[in-house]
Structure 1
Amino acid sequence: MVKSSLFKNTVLLYLLKFSTVFFSMITIPLQARVLGVSYYGELGIATALMTYFTLFIDFGFTISATGLVSKNRNNPIYITELFWSVSVIKLLISVVSIIFLWIYLILLRVESSFYPLYIWFLIAILINGFLPDFVFRGLEKMQSFTYRTIFIRLIFTLLLFIFLKTKEDLNLIPVATLIGNALALVWALIDLNRIVNVFKYFRFNFKLISEIFLDSVQFFISRIVSVIYSSAGIFILGVLDPSKVEVGYYSFAFRIAQMVFSIYSPIADSLYPYLIRTKDLNIIYKILKITIPALIIISIICFIFIKELTVLIFGIEYIGAIDIIISLIPSMILMFPNYLLGFPALSAINREKYANISIFLSFTVYVLLLLVLWICHRINPISLGYLFSLTTIIEVIFRALIIKKYS
């Protein structure tokens, strides 16, 4: 029964991620062709910045609150209090986020014509932040969550194909995201009220707010650090390359890598609440024995035909991103075991703190080597790609050694 639930949730999450890849394969070429390298570079910078705001409003609740819901799945009163307490914290974070964005736009002297791009993106991100997905994940009720997210992406894709015609339509991208997120929030709250009746038992207490805030801080810090070194390359190139051509190539290549990473997360996401309950670490070993050889074979095939695939799917304009994509291939292979050996596996042996420590370790290595590249005047899209792959290797090795030691 338990494994049947795990399988169902994994399939649903894979359906979710398949939709991510499917819609990305449709929308990324459209955006790239219509916007051109320069505007696409500005979009890449805005998207990278919004990644930080997404993590800020999430504040680690995807991990901490999901675990609390899983442990208290039979206590609807507690889940209701948790939901409203998290919402109060996110409301305060939203206010701070607006202030931070204003400071960013002024201090970095972002061209005023791009202000709407950033503002609409932030509103969309804040709306998305109030989605109570941690409740659905903790209760392992992923069906509605999956259908809702697919619906959002369908709306977003349709709006882009209908209205995105020239690079002057750049602001349509965050507006389309906002519309989809707003509809999803209404849907999610209706569904959540049906399951837990959160509006009938509107309640929260300051003690719980304080507890979950402090509990989430460690997860927030580790996730924000992880994103800093994964998206830092876009910001660095954005500063060094006024033409935005190099940052356009790099952001394009990194979005391809992120699209690959998104394929891996369904298994990790479904295993996390499952392993909190069962502590069945053997299932991870079985999964890795099957998937790692397959990933290596697929990567070799993609490496051989990378030029043809890039030109066919994205156009000749992005042929300059090929070497950057190649530099990210090691990370595309190893990110899967890295996900599984992170919070899912370490939770099974009660060593979650080492997931955070591994992130801090890889971040330290990233910063030190980035400094070396700076001194040697070797910062470019390709070197940053290999640097990201190296930090992924270090992270997965560290986690594997910890699991071997304590399991």
Structure 2
Amino acid sequence: MRKLSKKLSEEEKTVAKNYGALIVLQGLNYLLPLLIIPFLERQLGLEKFGLVMLAQYLMAFCVAAADFGFNVTATREISILKAEKGDYSTIYFKVFWARMILLVVVFMLLNLVVFLVPRFTVEWEIYLLSYGAVIGQILLPDWFFQGIEKMKLLTIVNVLAKLIFTLLLFLFISNPDDYTFVPIFNSIGFLTAGLISFFLSLKYVKWQWPNFKDSKDFYNESFQIFISNIASQLSNAANGVVLGFFGGDAIVGIFSAFDKLIIAAKKMYLPFYQAMYPYFSRKSFNEKLKMMKKLIPVITIVGIIGFSIIFLMGDWIIQSLYKDDTIYENVYLFKWMGLIAFFTGLSLLFHSLYAPARKLFNDRMKMTIIAGIFNIILSLIIVPIYGLKGTVISVICTEFVLLGIAALFYYKDFKKSLWVKS
């Protein structure tokens, strides 16, 4: 182990440490859904479980809107400042104050949706209580700690918050009438992580009041990522929302039981990509290409293994976790959803690592917009007819389309860059 450590450069050691920290956090993200989701399904019943999951799908749009793409653009800027040993304060507070303004705007828009759409008005308190999780996630300066490559600290805070949330659930949720506690406890967990990590981040910066001068280019780039992130939610969270409109809360509960497990499988790639992003951003074009040539076959193999596990062991996984017969009757849909874990690994490599590191924000935006629009159109056509099966078909097809588009953009950039060089 020491010999291996000596062979690594300081930059590579930092990447390895951050990857290790993120692996711990992601391990928790695997374990907790296996505990929490089946527990909530049993205690709340499919209908109330589906309701709180529908609220979470809606909050995913709120997070994407209030973040405004800073999770990508600001991380890159901070990582460059770290290499140049510059001051983080200006960029940090440009992001912080913009996010605070957006939090208020998004909350006002959420109120309009909740109180004007009858589907949401019936249980309006669930959606508004869920917004505490959005506040916590926007306060959380994960982009900053990722940029300065100090993920260990952020991991400790996140682990603490997730454990608090889990403990509260198991202590106080015992029957369907307790469903209102779920968004409250979820908000407490995220707010705890957000506030602690925010105060910890202040030791690296000097306080500044709002100042948005000379920020046009930065905000323009962030806007492109913002559109990408909203479009990405049209490929993800929108599925639960559309299904909720046409199928009801119980059907959303079945889909969520599968979807949360698939999301956990998809997230197995994130620690690596998050740890690599600051390092990858600083590399030359040729170095990026060499790294991509090594990464593509590795990620492909990992994806095939992930799909095989879900497809071959799907019956056992669902039967072990859930007790509702309706969920088990649809296990074949879960097994085919394993394809998502395969497609996502490669598409993330292109649009969440390579494209942002190359500052191809406009291309990334186009990829996600096309996939998001495709998903919404397909969902609106087939979900009213096929219900849950239609949603699963839509999700799988969208992930495949996104992978194809991402690969095409990567190939075009690769060829264009080589032509310019020659």
Contact 1:192 1:198 in 2 (8 A): no
Contact 1:288 1:337 in 2 (8 A): yes
Q: In the alignment, which of 111, 114, 133 is matched to residue 105 of structure 1?
A: 114
Matched, 1:297 2:305: yes
Q: In the alignment, which of 277, 283, 294 is matched to residue 278 of structure 1?
A: 283
Q: In the alignment, which of 403, 409, 421 is matched to residue 402 of structure 1?
A: 409
Q: Secondary structure at the match of 2:78?
A: helix
- Sort the Cα spacing of 1:29 and 1:198 in 2 relative to 1 into closer, same or farther, 3 A: farther
Matches of 1:90 and 1:227, distance apart in 2:
19
- Sort the Cα spacing of 1:336 and 1:239 in 2 relative to 1 into closer, same or farther, 3 A: same
- Sort the Cα spacing of 1:342 and 1:5 in 2 relative to 1 into closer, same or farther, 3 A: same
Matched, 1:207 2:216: no
Matches of 1:293 and 1:132, distance apart in 2:
33
Q: Secondary structure at the match of 2:385?
A: coil
Aligned-residue offset at 1:371: 5.0
Aligned-residue offset at 1:76: 7.5
Matches of 2:403 and 2:37, distance apart in 1:
29
Contact 1:34 1:165 in 2 (8 A): yes
Q: Secondary structure at the match of 1:386?
A: helix
| Farther off after superposition, 145-154 or 116-125 | 116-125
Read off the aligned partner of 1:289 and give its amino acid letter.
Answer: P
Q: Per-residue displacement from partner, 1:354-397 (whole Å, max 9, x unpaired)?
A: 222211222233244345436xx634212221222122112212
Aligned-residue offset at 1:295: 3.0
Q: In the alignment, which of 157, 160, 182 is matched to residue 166 of structure 2?
A: 157
Contact 2:38 2:257 in 1 (8 A): no
Q: Partner of 1:232 in structure 2?
A: 238
Q: Partner of 1:387 in structure 2?
A: 394
Aligned-residue offset at 1:247: 1.9
- Sort the Cα spacing of 1:342 and 1:168 in 2 relative to 1 into closer, same or farther, 3 A: same
- Sort the Cα spacing of 1:398 and 1:309 in 2 relative to 1 into closer, same or farther, 3 A: same
Q: What is the number of equivalent residue pairs in this alignment?
A: 401
Contact 2:76 2:357 in 1 (8 A): no
Read off the aligned partner of 1:216 and give its amino acid letter.
Answer: S
Where structure 1 has 5 or more consecutive residues not aligned to the other structure, the ranges are none
Q: Partner of 1:144 in structure 2?
A: 153
Q: What are the residue-to-residue correspondences of 1:78-157 with 2, within 5 Å? A: 78-110=87-119, 114-157=123-166
Matched, 1:15 2:15: no
Aligned-residue offset at 1:31: 0.8
Matches of 1:181 and 1:349, distance apart in 2:
32
Q: Percent identity?
A: 21
Where structure 2 has 5 or more consecutive residues not aligned to the other structure, the ranges are 1-9, 415-422
| Farther off after superposition, 290-299 or 56-65 | 290-299
Superposition CA RMSD, Å: 2.2
| Farther off after superposition, 150-159 or 226-235 | 226-235
Read off the aligned partner of 2:240 and give its amino acid letter.
Answer: I
Matches of 2:73 and 2:359, distance apart in 1:
14
Read off the aligned partner of 2:218 and give its amino acid letter.
Answer: I
Read off the aligned partner of 1:369 and give its amino acid letter.
Answer: L
Aligned-residue offset at 1:404: 2.8
Q: Partner of 1:219 in structure 2?
A: 225
Q: Per-residue displacement from partner, 1:289-327 (whole Å, max 9, x unpaired)?
A: 234224323422432231222111222432134133133
Q: Partner of 2:187 in structure 1?
A: 178
- Sort the Cα spacing of 1:175 and 1:208 in 2 relative to 1 into closer, same or farther, 3 A: farther
- Sort the Cα spacing of 1:48 and 1:273 in 2 relative to 1 into closer, same or farther, 3 A: same
Contact 1:253 1:321 in 2 (8 A): no
Aligned-residue offset at 1:145: 0.8
Read off the aligned partner of 1:8 and give its amino acid letter.
Answer: K
Matches of 2:180 and 2:277, distance apart in 1:
37
Q: In the alignment, which of 301, 323, 340 is matched to residue 331 of structure 1?
A: 340
